[in-house]
Amino acid sequence: MDELEADPAIKAVLDSFDLGRSAPAAPVLVAQNVSDDVTPAADTYEMANAWRAAGADVTVAKLDTPPLLPQAGVAGHSAGLLLDNPTAVGWLIDRFNH
């Protein structure tokens, strides 16, 4: 990875993938399962905090879905999404009503 990042053109592309670099202009809901086995919760909260620091309107929903089939790899990643749909739907309804 160090060799890739040493190339300015490649580093520029890799840096462009960093979601925390620029804040979204529209309100954002960031929902993260603390037991996510794909995306570390700390990384997600760091991104949300960076967006807030840049002035974005960010709502964070911390989901506490227990680890499900850790050996399956993505169960904890998907479970939070499926089980927390009411939070997302409620958040969207609030956006339309403002």
The pLDDT profile of the chain, 98 residues, written as one tens digit per residue, is 678 778 888 888 877 777 767 889 999 999 998 888 788 889 999 999 999 999 999 999 998 877 665 565 666 677 777 777 888 999 999 999 97
Phi-psi group of 11: left, alpha or beta (phi > 0 → left; psi -120 to 50 → alpha; rest → beta): alpha
- 69: phi > 0 → left, psi -120 to 50 → alpha, else beta; which? left
DSSP label at residue 98: -
CA distance 80 to 31: 8
pTM of the entire structure? 0.72
